[in-house]
Structure 1
Amino acid sequence: MARWAAEAVARDQMVLFAPTLDAVIGPDHPVRLFDEILAVQDWSAWEAAYPHDRGQPPIHPRVVASAILYGLSQGIRSSRRLEWACGNAFDFYWLVGGRSIDHATFCAFRTRFGRPLKDLFVQLGRTALAMGVARLNRVVLDGTRVKANCRREGLTAEAIARHLAALEAQVEGMLAEAQAADAREEDLYGGDGGGSGLPGELADLQQRRERLAQALAAAEAIDAKRAKRRDAPDAPARVPVTDPEAKVLPNKEGGHAPNYTPTVVVEGHGGLIVDADVLADEAESSATVPSVDRVAEAFGTHPEALAADGAFATGAALTALAAREIEAYMPVDDRASGASNPAEREDPRRPVTQAQWANLPRDAQQKNLSKRAFIYDEQADAYICPMGRDLPFAKTRTYRRRGGERGTYRVYRCGSCADCPLRGACLPRRSARRSIFRDEHEAQREAMRVRLGTPAAQAMASLRRWRAEGTLGVLKAVMGVRQFLLRGRQKVRTEWLWACTAFDLKKLVAAVGRLRRQFAAILA
């Protein structure tokens, strides 16, 4: 006869002493540390947002925030699932003290406290620094793509204008009908007909009209910006109507869709996030300097060293980091192929041997010799080509890059290209002479190339892959932040900050638990 394990507690078993709610949660359950850590934070800014002179007493904001943060740490983002968990899961039920919190409360709460949430994020970081769990000597910066909460297909400015014109006509017709109805009611009842505000359907149309107007402005702005570029695409820009601030960008998983670009700065010791932001259409390089400045503002000091990928390494960013005495480790993107560079020879005046010509670095797009094949002579203020010939200074020009960066660069031009044996491999198409451009940040790029060959650079590159990419992987794969639930950049920023705060809190809970176990072992 088969035997099966009996139930631990019979459902109809009566008990003499009912267990307390606290007894249901084990002494080492992580939810206890979640509650303990959040209980000692400053909640005065949150409390100030509540009126206490009317209505029922509100639930303390720490309780609601604790449920949201704990839910995020468990991969629960939906407000309805959070409502269910608070009424059915023992750990959530214990955390909120048996209170009933509906999904609408969670929804409103998540977007209401952007500034206080940032303060809480900083408080947790300072707690980790004070405990020695986190350190700011080495940090890593990275970004990812997260889909926006809108349809994949966008509309052009022309299509949006057509939809807006049709909607305007519909709204005007409904307003005329509403005014006629008000006039009939006034004749029938006299005085005020009792209406209060727009009818529901008309109010929805008004909101839709506002969204279309915002999308139209965004599409026209993008088209105007594109028109100033030499390489402007022929097709007009398409803008997501439901979230015009999102931009159609390549997905990490392939294809294109409306996306935002969240960024994180992660400290290298404990892996806590010390800064978080969300970009829309800006290049990732625009986040480099503001990120480290926000870290300094929040924690009182700049990092000593920063690692990031090449997308963050503009010349202006390298110069700004050097001015802040931050040792940067970021690959400089010069689009050159080839690992070894025979142009970097002991005597630049001696031509590169013909056997090494095939190994000279080439531009990955143009296929001709890249700038790295030319050596700069600081004393002579000239470049030296692979054949040992000079490219002296010719003139100065100004530039404006796609991200809005402005500056000047110096032009160096060769006067002896006609009889050069490398002419075919060196000259760009339809050019009779080779020119090299050097902007005011080139010295920082050259110093970066030298630094990237050191053991410290290898260690920082390994740290970046481990800390930054691993952190983003946890946020997306474990915590489920693969698509934002909210719309609009400001709300999306707040949503990302909730997730990053929950990530840090989970790290802090694990660290405190580990320290307590170590102390207990020492005292035993």
Structure 2
Amino acid sequence: MSRFVPVDRDTAYLLPPSVDEWLPDDHLARFVVEVIEQLDLSDLTRQYAGRGSAAHHPAVLLGLLIYGYANGIHSSRKIERATYDSVAFRYVAANTHPDHDTLATFRRRFLKEVEALFVQVLVLAREMKLLKLGHIALDGTKIGASASKHKALSWAHANKIEAQLRREVQALLALAETSDRTALPDGMDVPAEIARREDRLSAITQAKAKIEQRAGERYQGEQQEFEGKQAKRKAQRDAGKKPRGKDPEPPQAGPKDGDQVNLTDEQSRIMPVSGGGFEQSYNAQAGVDTDTMMVITAHVTQACNDKREVVPTLKQIDTLPEALGTVHTLIADKGFFSQANVVACTQAGIEPLLAIKRQSHHEPLMERFASDPDAPQTTDAVVNMVHRLSTQVGKALYKLRKQTVEPVFGIIKRVMGWRQMSMRGLAKAQGEWNLVTMAWNIKRMHVLRAT
């Protein structure tokens, strides 16, 4: 008698197998299907005209994308292949096999609708008693664009290449005029060479126009900031006070030599990344609930730093359904700090805890157990926030930031394997970030329900 489990691949099933028997009851694929079945997909289904061959239902396509992103499979071709190779993907697809073109088209077509579905998932989590808003930790992470930094063209290099191409065009025209008297180099087609350089000159002209437009927008912002500083210093002088430091220098109009545009994805930007160096990237922002580690707000920006990302986050919080509860505190590191951001939080009825300097990893023993300082008698929002950060309660709340939003980014990048956008352009990057964070939230809900 054999002590091994029999292996038989030839005998046919006596009864047709059921997809419901393929997975354990607590499998993530089952939970993804359950969640999507409870979402209102009418904004998606009504966009199908009903002509031609039968289409795959949006619930199936969305489920495949969500389960794929949650498990580190982002390519539509790999998802199509997984509907044949993976039992879990077969379950989500109900044993159908949407091709990669269908999946890719669906993802591009309905990115805007995913934003509303993202909120629906949060509401569902609240109904399942898995989420109740309170404290939000905000941070940003650089996500690679679907473009190489080597395809970026700077203002100085564009001018250099433009001048070189114009010289070459003139030289080719001169060759064309003397071609009846002077033999051309073997293999040279003068009209084709001129046309190729004219095409490159046209592309460079368009790139320079975009750089000039960005420089103009930057100049307007810097000019407004300069005028504000000048007005503030004038008011101090009028009040008999001497302003500190040197007078600010007026901004310079026009592009700088280092200003650049990417020829593949012009809306992405060269950004510094952790570990050193620069990459063509977007800055993905996430506001994470400190109790559940679920992403509550998500947006993508072209700014390298996080200074201007508090206000967009507050606007997103303001649009959330009342059923989710109330956000009491917004926690962020020093990269988000500015007086305007502190005031904006206060005006929105949210207590800001924005670090004003880098926090020490090893707080001295006596400071850790020191009594809270006396509360300041002032209405200054920044002074009151600094006092709050110095209290035991404030310190405990701020410490939650590192154990909520940073692990979420780590899991999304390392476990879910999502480090680069699949599509180009800011709007598509925003839509894909919503899809990624929705996949994270459903994955997180699955864990929370089990515990």
What TM-score do the two structures reach when normalised by structure 1?
A: 0.65
* Mapping for residues 310-389 of structure 1, pairs under 5 Å: 310-333=334-357
Task: Tell me the residue number matched to 1:431.
Answer: none
Matches within 5 A, 1:42-441: 42-52=40-50, 54-153=51-150, 154-157=152-155, 159-160=157-158, 215-224=207-216, 225=218, 235-281=257-303, 283-300=305-322, 302-333=326-357
Q: 1:333 to 1:450 in 2, by over 3 A?
A: same
Distance 1:460 1:206, change over 3 A: farther
Query: After superposition, what is the alpha-carbon deviation per residue over 1:441-488, rounded to whole angstroms, capped at 9, x for unaligned?
Result: x93222222111111222222211111111111111111121212111
Aligned match of 1:30: 28
Q: CA deviation at 1:507?
A: 1.2
1:483 aligns with 2:427: no
Look up the SS of the partner of 1:274 in the other structure.
Answer: strand
Match of 1:21 in 2: 19
Percent identity between matched residues is 26
Structure 1 residues 97 and 164: CA distance shift in structure 2, 3 A: farther
What SS does structure 2 have at the residue aligned with 1:446? Answer: helix
Distance 1:104 1:14, change over 3 A: closer
- CA–CA separation in structure 1 for the residues paired with 2:211 and 2:6: 63
Distance 1:463 1:492, change over 3 A: same
The Cα of 1:36 is off from its aligned counterpart by 0.9
Partner SS for 1:512: helix
Q: Which amino acid aligns with 2:263?
A: V
Provide Cα deviations, 1:127-174, integer angstroms capped at 9, x if missing partner. 11222211211111110111212112221235447878979x99xxxx
Q: Which has the larger radius of gyration?
A: 1
Does the Cα contact within 8 Å between 2:314 and 2:348 map onto a contact in 1? no
Q: Distance in 2 between matches of 1:207 and 1:93?
A: 48
Query: How many aligned positions are there?
Result: 377
**Separation of aligned partners in 2, 1:306 and 1:473:** 21
Instruction: Name the amino acid aligned to 1:57.
Output: A
Q: Pick which of 282-291 and 449-458 moved more.
A: 282-291
In structure 2, C-alpha distance between the alignment counterparts of 1:265 and 1:499, rounded to whole Å = 14
Structure 2 distance, partners of 1:454, 1:23, is 55
3-state DSSP of counterpart to 1:140: strand
Structure 1 96/161 Cα, relative in aligned 2: closer, same or farther at 3 Å?
farther
Give the alignment partner of residue 462 of structure 1, picking from 377, 386, 399.
399
Contact 1:223/1:236, CA 8 A, preserved across alignment = no
The separation in 2 between residues aligned to 1:92 and 1:241, in whole angstroms, is 37
Amino acid at match of 1:454: T
Native 8 Å contact 2:155 2:257 kept in 1: no
Q: Could you tell me how far 1:497 is from its partner in structure 2?
A: 0.9
Distance 1:308 1:46, change over 3 A: same
More helix by percentage: 2
Secondary structure in 2 matching 1:265: strand
CA 1:207–1:311 in 2, change beyond 3 Å: closer, same or farther? farther
Q: Is the 8 A contact 1:332 1:448 kept in 2?
A: no
Summarize the Cα distance change of 1:6–1:13 in structure 2 as closer, same or farther, 3 Å threshold.
farther
Residue type of the alignment partner of 2:7? V
Alignment partner of 1:446 out of 361, 374, 383? 383
For residues 33 and 473 of structure 1, the distance between their equivalents in structure 2, rounded to whole angstroms, comes to 23
In 2: Cα distance, 1:30 partner to 1:214 partner = 48
Q: Secondary structure at the match of 2:88?
A: helix
Offset of residue 28 of structure 1: 2.6
- The change in CA–CA distance for 1:457 and 1:218 in structure 2 (over 3 A counts) is farther
CA spacing shift, 1:294–1:213, aligned 2, 3 Å: farther
Shift of the 378–131 alpha-carbon distance from structure 1 to 2, 3 Å rule, reads closer
Aligned Cα RMSD in Å? 3.5
- Runs of 5+ in structure 1 lacking a partner? 171-204, 341-376, 380-441, 515-524
Shift of 1:333: 4.4
Report Cα offsets for 1:247-288 as digits up to 9, x if no partner: 111111310121110000111221111110001026412111
Q: Which moved more, 1:7-16 or 1:65-74?
A: 7-16
| 3-state secondary structure, aligned to 1:276 | strand
Whether the 8 Å contact between 1:212 and 1:241 is mirrored in structure 2 is no
User: Shift of the alpha carbon at 1:207?
Assistant: 11
Offset, 1:511:
2.4
- 1:278 touches 1:493 (CA, 8 Å); kept in 2? yes
**Shift in Å at residue 217 of structure 1?**
3.2
- Residue pair 1:211, 1:242 contacting (<8 A) in 2 also: no
Of structures 1 and 2, the one with the larger relative CO (CA 8 A, separation 6+) is 2
What do the CA deviations read for 1:380-408 (whole angstroms, capped 9, x no partner)?
xxxxxxxxxxxxxxxxxxxxxxxxxxxxx
Say if 2:154 and 2:257, in contact at 8 Å, map to a contact too: no
Is the 1:128–1:134 Cα contact (8 Å) retained in structure 2? yes
Give the corresponding residue for 2:442: 505
Amino acid at match of 2:335: A
Does the 8 Å CA contact 2:330/2:350 hold for their aligned counterparts? yes
Rate the CA distance shift 1:293–1:272 in 2: closer, same or farther, 3 A: same
Q: Secondary structure at the match of 2:153?
A: coil
CA–CA distance in structure 1, aligned partners of residues 52 and 87 of structure 2: 30
